[in-house]
Structure formats: structure tokens, C-alpha cells
Amino acid sequence: MKNTIQYFPSLLLALILTACSTEKTWDVIIVGGGLMGSSTAWHLSATGLSVLLVEQQDSIYTYGSSMGDARIARSNNRGDDIWSYLHNRSVQETEELIAYLHEQGHPDGDYKMEDLYTTSPVTYVGRAAIYPGLYASLERQKVNYKLASNLQEAMDLFGVSLKDSVLLVREYNKYSGTLNPQKLIKHLQLGAHHKGVDIRYHTKVTELTAVGNDGYRVKVQHTNTGKTQLLKARKVVSAAGPYTGKLLQGINSNIAQLINPQRVFLAYLKIKPDNYHNLSPMQKDQLLAGYPVINSSEGGRMGSFFSMIEYFDEEGVPIIKVGGHFQRSDIQDLDKVWEEELSEEEIAFGYNNTLKYLGLNNVLIDSTDLQYIHGYSCVYSLTKTEVPYVSYIPNKEGENREDLVALCGLSGVGAKGAMTYGLMAAKLVQQLPEKQDSMLAQIMERMGYGRLVNDIEALKEERSMGHLSQ
């Protein structure tokens, strides 16, 4: 008894200090407020769970894989029906988000799908040899399309001078065109916040530690003040984009080797204002109809590029953004890569492909009429197969506690399916197997735990054979 009384003050002090330095235990903490984290937060917001979303940036998103005003969103995919489903389901889920926000009321206007999606026929230019597979996928995926497989058809249908052995298909589905990731993030966070999700900006997770079988300790640091705090969560969702490997290092170091962050550049160009305004109305229409585009007609991955109109400048001139999903390079410093200037070759890649594509569309301009405005170095993470993971993460011992979910390796396909990936992650958090929708169940399987574990085993095997560093 004497001992208890003697030690009581220090025990009390310890309890008070603990209470001050920690707070309530959240049901779920989501790390990262890009497209994936924001989408997961929205889908979890209706579950009754207490959810906290932490984001290291300000509420205005300024870097990350989701940076920019436009991403191509389209239903057709020649290779695999899952990408078609992911886009279509995302459109459907976005309609629900918009309907919810509409009910809440807008301070100065209304919420509309058109704020997020710009419906604009998506052009795909490819080698004629892909015709059978492409045609079959367009029919199977119920795409509204027009397809030209030779010069005459291309001139008649689109006014485009197609080269030999090249075809062109245009997709006309509603909400196929471009998606604005910045605005989608804002809308998702607003919807989630309305439904009770707490959001903290300038809050960087510096350490993630499993606590026995009882959830996670999440150490955070305020990026302005440097002040640190310990948070507790029963479950954690990692949606840290290219930073995923670093975030999960202490939980399972294999993850960093499974998702490889790569730099991808974007060049922004425009036709000089006088020259643009001198184009005939038909030529302007022709230019606008040609974007967004994915062009793989050169054959081989290195020759392919994607391009879209990012926005119109104050003189009404379209700003054309161009990049290549296979123009990837390794990263020295993830925190600094975003500021890296484009090399001369990279600028030339954007410039030459744009000039050639405008020529194909019979928008004939002089090479000196096209102006490079600026470039941007962006990053995305790639899995070996370029198919993302939306999965539970096993701990160091290889156990699956089903309390840590990661969305990672979203590469160049994440935006158009963002609403669906978040839905999948929310289902995993709630340990709800998908029973109703067989396609969604199939996708969850393909991106889920079984594959992740196999990939980890393959990594270990490679390491044991000396092909990889420890």
C-alpha cells in the first residue's frame, strides 16, 4: 500500500503525459490525400467508423502523382476488360458523389459532373495489326466508337491523313475524355468531411508501428511547426503514392521493392497566339477534336505518347500537354524530383510528337509556330506487371492481420479508376468480401493479397539466388 501511495504521483503524471501526447484511437487512419486516399476516405465516410485522413501537403495539392488538371479517362482497353470496368464504375460512383454534394448545396452554384469530367472523344492511333483485338474489345466493352482502318476512311470520318498500316479509333462515351484530378480530390474531401471524416493537412506520417495485435501507432509531424504527435488507429490505409515504400518500410520492407517509383515528364506547349487565331474555324475544330489522344502508331513502347488539352490560356489558346508513359527514368531524390527541369531531348519529344500529330490532323503549322511553355517532372509507381495492388499488407513475420491496407503501384492508370480503387480499399477495411459484382470481385482478386504474397515470395527467391540486394 505504502509503495502504491509513494509511486502514485509519478504514475498519475505518466498517465497525464500519455493522455496529452496521444488522443483517441481512430478506427481508421488514411495516410495520403491524393486521388486514392481521398477516394477511400469518401467510401469509408458512410460506414460509421471514425476516420482520419492525414496529408503532408497543404489543402491545395501541389505535387504528387495526381498533380495536374487533366488525365485521360476512357472506357476502351484493348488488352483487358478490367480497365474498362474500373473507368465505368468510377463514373457511376462519381455520379453518387455529385448527387450527395448537390443535396448539401453549393455556396455559389451547383455541383456537376462536368466540373470533373470533360466529355471529349478520345482518339487512339495504333498499328493496323491490332485491328482484330481492338474491334473485339470495343464491341465487348460496349463502347460508342468510330474506327478508320485506312486513309480514305480516316479522311471521310475524321479529316485525318492516316499513314499506311495505321488505324484510328475515336471513343464517344459520355464522360470519356479527361478527368480533373485536382477537382476530384477537392470534391471527395468535401464529401468525406461533410460525412464526418477528419482531415489534417501539413501532417506527415514519420513512423508507422504495429502495436502487438492492437492496431498501429502513427507518429506524425506538422510540416510547418515541426511539432510531433502520436496517433493511434485500429486500422491504417496507406495511400502515399510514390512514398509508399518509405512509409511501409518498418512494416514490410519488401513493399519498397515491389513498387518502383519512376519519373515521367510532361511538356506543355501551345501554338503561338497570333498563329492560333489565324487558323480557320475548321482547323480549330479539327485540333480540338484530336485531343485527348493516345498514339502508339510508331510501334514499340518508346514511340508512343499521350496528349491532351490541359486548359485554355487567357487569350483562349489551348495549352497542350504531352508525355510518354514509357518515357520513364529512375529517381535520385523523391522529395526533389518534382522540381527537375526537362532535358532538351524530353522537350524535343513533346515538341516533335505534337507537330507530327497536328500535321496528321491537317492542322498545318510551321515548326516555329509551336511554343514550349514549361515542363513538369511527375512520378508514379510501377509494379512488375503494371497492375496495381489494392491489398492487405502482411507484417514482417508474414502474417496478415487484415488491419493494414495499401493502394499502390497505380502507374498511369490510377486516375480514371480512382473511385473504384477507393471502393475496393474501403471494402477491405471493413473485411467485406465482394459477393454481388463478379467483375469487381475478380479485380479485387487480381490486385489483392494472394498476388502480393506470391510477388513477395518471388522477390525472396530472386534475392536468395543473388539477383537482388537484401
Ligand X SMILES: Cc1cc2nc3c(=O)[nH]c(=O)nc-3n(C[C@H](O)[C@H](O)[C@H](O)COP(=O)(O)OP(=O)(O)OC[C@H]3O[C@@H](n4cnc5c(N)ncnc54)[C@H](O)[C@@H]3O)c2cc1C
Task: Give the span between the Cα atoms of 427 and 429, in whole angstroms.
Answer: 5
Pairing state between β 293-295 and 122-127: parallel
Phi/psi of residue 172, nearest 5 degrees? -115, 20
If one asks whether residue 357 binds ligand X (CB under 6 A), the answer comes out as no
If one asks whether residue 55 binds ligand X (CB under 6 A), the answer comes out as yes
Q: How far is the CB of 429 from ligand X (least distance, A)?
A: 16
Whole-number Cα distances in Å, 130 to 59, 79, 119, 269, 279: 44, 10, 26, 30, 34
Residue selected from 187, 235, 328, 416 as contacting ligand X according to rule CB under 6 A: 416
Cβ-based nearer residue to ligand X, 54 or 456: 54
Q: For ligand X, which stretch binds (CB under 6 A), given 18-26, 132-140, 241-249, 282-290? A: 241-249
Task: Give the span between the Cα atoms of 229 and 245, in whole angstroms.
Answer: 22
Residue selected from 26, 100, 243, 389 as contacting ligand X according to rule CB under 6 A: 243
Residue selected from 28, 29, 37, 382 as contacting ligand X according to rule CB under 6 A: 37
Q: How far is the CB of 339 from ligand X (least distance, A)?
A: 15
Q: 390 is written with which cell numbers? A: 489494392
Q: For ligand X, which stretch binds (CB under 6 A), given 50-58, 103-111, 224-232, 444-452? A: 50-58
Residue selected from 168, 218, 247, 370 as contacting ligand X according to rule CB under 6 A: 247
Q: For ligand X, which stretch binds (CB under 6 A), given 119-127, 228-236, 327-335, 414-422? A: 414-422
Q: In which element (H, E) is residue 453 found?
A: helix 449-464
∠ CA 388-392-397, nearest 5°, is 120
Using CB under 6 A, count the residues that bind ligand X.
37
User: If we measure between CA atoms, which residue out of 377, 368, 386, 388 comes closest to residue 338?
Assistant: 377
Cβ-based nearer residue to ligand X, 305 or 306: 306
Task: Give the span between the Cα atoms of 335 and 240, in whole angstroms.
Answer: 13
Residue selected from 40, 51, 52, 56 as contacting ligand X according to rule CB under 6 A: 56
Write out the binding residues for ligand X, residues 64-83 only, by CB under 6 A: 64-66, 71-72
Place of cell 474501403: 426
Write out the binding residues for ligand X, residues 114-133 only, by CB under 6 A: none
Q: For ligand X, which stretch binds (CB under 6 A), given 61-69, 108-116, 211-219, 228-236? A: 61-69
How many CB atoms within 10 Å of residue 254? 22
Q: 411-445 burial by CB neighbour count: b if 16+ within 10 A, else e?
A: bbbbbbbbbbbbbbbbbbbeeeebeeeeebeebbe
Report the DSSP beta bridge partners of residue 391: 406
Q: How far is the CB of 33 from ligand X (least distance, A)?
A: 5
Q: For ligand X, which stretch binds (CB under 6 A), given 187-195, 309-317, 412-420, 434-442? A: 412-420
Cβ-based nearer residue to ligand X, 57 or 362: 57
Task: Give the span between the Cα atoms of 453 and 386, in whole angstroms.
Answer: 16
If one asks whether residue 239 binds ligand X (CB under 6 A), the answer comes out as yes
Which of 163-168's residues contact partners 24+ apart within 8 Å by CB, and which partners? 163/297, 163/360, 165/127, 165/128, 165/129, 166/125, 166/126, 166/127, 166/128, 166/297, 167/125, 167/126, 167/127, 167/128, 167/130, 167/131, 167/134, 168/123, 168/124, 168/125
Residue selected from 204, 270, 328, 427 as contacting ligand X according to rule CB under 6 A: 204
Q: How far is the CB of 57 from ligand X (least distance, A)?
A: 5
Q: What DSSP designation does 79 have?
A: S
Cβ-based nearer residue to ligand X, 154 or 410: 410
How many CB atoms within 10 Å of residue 194? 14
Cβ-based nearer residue to ligand X, 177 or 283: 177
If one asks whether residue 187 binds ligand X (CB under 6 A), the answer comes out as no
Do 470 and 256 contact (CB within 8 A), yes or no?
no
Cβ-based nearer residue to ligand X, 193 or 463: 193
Residue selected from 33, 121, 290, 350 as contacting ligand X according to rule CB under 6 A: 33
If one asks whether residue 28 binds ligand X (CB under 6 A), the answer comes out as no
Residue selected from 378, 405, 425, 443 as contacting ligand X according to rule CB under 6 A: 378
Place of cell 465482394: 434
Interaction site with ligand X (CB under 6 A): 31-37, 54-57, 64-66, 71-72, 181, 204-205, 239-243, 247, 264, 266, 306, 323, 378, 380, 410, 412-416
